[in-house]
Structure 1
Amino acid sequence: MNRAALFVLVDGRFPAGGHAHSGGAEPAVADGRIKDADSLETFCRGRLHTAGLVAAALAAAAAAGHDPLELDDAADARTPVRAPRDTARRLGRQMMRAARAVWPSAELDALAAARPRGAHQAVVLGLVARSAGLTPLDAAYAVVYETVSGPATATVRLLRLDPFEATAVLARMAPALDQVAAAAAAAAGRVPDEGVDALPAASAPLLDISAQQHAAWNVRLFAS
C-alpha cells in the first residue's frame, strides 16, 4: 500500500481541474446562503452528508475493484440533474488525463476507452486510487476532503473570507469527514453481496437546482 500517494491525489495542485469549480459555493454565495464562516460550515456539512457521501461510496467501490461501468451507470442514476452530471463527467475526464500520466494502468485505459467523453469523477477517482495502491477507505477520504475543501477555497475568493477562518471550518469538520468516509467504505464493502443498490443515494435538491441555474449564468467565476 502506497499511503503517501493519497497526499498527491488530494493536493490542490494535482492537475485534475478541481480549482475551476466551487462545488456549488458560487451560487450559494450569490443567493446569500453562504455569507460568512458559520454559513460556509453549514453548507459544507450539508454537501458532505449528501453528494459527498454518495460520491465517496462510488469511489470506494471502484477502488475495491467493482465494475467501473456499472458504477458509472449508478452514478448517473444518483445524479438526475444535467448540470452536476455534466460537471462530474468533465472533472472525471480531466482527472483521467492526469492519472494516466501519473499512475498508468490497464483499468484506467479501459475506462477511458469505454467512456471517451468522461466517466463520473468519483468512479475515476476510485480507479485512480486503486492504480496508486490505495485502499477503498483512502478513496473515500479523498472524495470527502474535496467535497468540503473545494467550496471552502472558493468562498475565500468569492467573499474574501479570511483563509484562516475557512481552514478552521475544515478542521472543525474533521470528525464528520471520518464518519462519512467510514460509512462510504462500509457501503462499498456490501456491493459484492448486495449490488450497487447497497450504495447510498442521498439527495440535495437545492444543490441540484442551484447548479442548473448557475450553468445558465452569462458571467461566473467558476465553472460550477
Structure 2
Amino acid sequence: MTNAARAALLVLADGRFPAGGHAHSGGAEAAVADGRVHDAASLAAFCRGRLHTSGLVAAALAAAATSGADPLALDAAADARTPSPALRATSRRLGRQLLRAARAAWPDPALDELAAARPRGAHHPVVLGLTARAAGLLPLDAAQAAAYESASGPTAAAVRLLSLDPFHGAALLARLAPEIDAIASLAATTDPTTLPAASAPLLDLAAEEHGGWEKRLFAS
C-alpha cells in the first residue's frame, strides 16, 4: 500500500467521515434498552458477537467489491444475507450516504454507475468496497474498514447511551484489534462466489422492534 492509500484508509475509517454512521448504533441502542448491554464487559461481548457475524459478512462483501466482483450481484447477495427489512433499509441508507461522500472524495466512474443503478442506495458494504477501490486500497483494507466499523459503531453509541468512560470504549476496541484483523484477513481471502452468511437472529429481531419505537436516540 502506498502512503497515499494508507492515508485514504484512515480517512475512510474515520468516524468523522460524512457517511452517516454517527446516527446509527449498530443494534446497541436496542441491546441497552433490554439490558443485554449494560457495562463495558457486556458491550465487549456484544461487539465480539457482531464482529463474527454481520461484521464478517460485511467485510467479505466489501473485499469482494474491491477485488472487482460485480457490485450489482454483490448487492443482491447482501440483500439475501440481511433478513431484517429494517436492517436492509438501514444498510441502503448508509450506502447512499457513503456513496455521496465517496463521489466527492474519490471521483470514479464505477461509483457513478452504481449510483445510477441503485438511486435509492446500494448496500453499505458494497459501496464501501467500491469506494476503497476508487481510493487505491486493497480488498484487505476494505475488509478491515468494514470489520472495524462493526465494532466501533456500537462502541461509540454505547459510550453515549450508558455514559461509559470513553477510555473504556477505546480500550475495548484495542483489545478487539487482533480479532478485527483476523476477521478482515478471512474475509479478504474468501471466494466471492462463496460469501459467508453468518447470522445474528437477535440483531435482526431487535432491529425490527427498534424501528417501531416512537422515541430513540439513534436511527438504528
TM-score range, shorter chain: over 0.9
Query: In the TM superposition, what is the alpha-carbon distance from 1:163 to its structure 2 partner?
Result: 0.6
CA distance in structure 1 between the partners assigned to 2:6 and 2:13 by the alignment: 12
Identical-residue share of aligned pairs (%): 69
The amino acid of 1:16's aligned partner reads A
Deviation at 1:3, TM superposition (A): 1.9
Number of residue pairs the alignment of both structures matches: 217
Q: Is the aligned partner of 1:200 residue 2:196? A: yes
Residue 115 of structure 1: aligned partner: 118
1:124 maps to 127
> Counterpart of 2:218?
222
Deviation at 1:89, TM superposition (A): 0.1
Q: Tell me the distance in 1 between the aligned counterparts of 2:91 and 2:39.
A: 27
Structure 2: how far apart are the matches of 1:45 and 1:157? Answer: 19
Alignment deviations for residues 153-184 of structure 1 (CA, whole Å, 9 cap, x no partner): 00010000011111111011011001100010
1:6-45 to 2 correspondence within 5 Å? Answer: 6-45=9-48
Distance in 2, matches of 1:203 and 1:92, equals 20
Determine helix, strand or coil for the equivalent of 1:34: coil
RMSD, aligned α-carbons: 0.6
Partner Cα distance (2:128, 2:102) in 1: 9
Q: Following superposition of structure 1 onto structure 2, how do residues 145-224 of structure 1 map, counting pairs within 5 Å?
A: 145-187=148-190, 190-191=191-192, 195=193, 198-224=194-220
- Post-superposition shift, 1:81? 1.1
TM-score normalised by structure 1 residue count: 0.96
Q: 5+ unaligned residues in a row in structure 2: which ranges? A: none
Per-residue CA distance 1:170-218 (angstroms, 9 max, x = gap)? 011011001100010011xx23xxx2xx110000000000001000000
Q: Which runs of 5+ in 1 are unaligned?
A: none
| AA partner of residue 203 (structure 2) | L
C-alpha distance after superposition, 1:73-107 (max 9, x if no partner): 00000001100000000000000000000001000
> What SS is found at the alignment partner of 1:4?
helix
TM-score by length of 2: 0.98
Q: Which runs of 4+ in 1 moved over 3 A?
A: none
- AA in 1 matched with 2:49: G
Find the aligned partners of 2:6 and 2:174 in 1 and give their Cα distance.
Answer: 21
Q: Secondary structure at the residue paired with 1:8?
A: helix
Please tell me whether the aligned partners of residues 144 and 180 of structure 1 are also in contact (alpha carbons under 8 angstroms).
yes
Partner Cα distance (2:7, 2:169) in 1: 25
Specify which of 141, 149, 158 is matched with residue 138 of structure 1.
141
Q: How do residues 27-66 of structure 1 correspond to structure 2 at under 5 angstroms?
A: 27-66=30-69
Hey, what's the Cα distance between the residues in 1 that align with 2:164 and 2:26?
16
After superposition, residues 59-98 of structure 1 pair within 5 angstroms as 59-98=62-101
Find the residue that maps to 2:6 and give its secondary structure.
coil
Aligned partners of 1:13, 1:135: CA distance in 2, in Å? 22
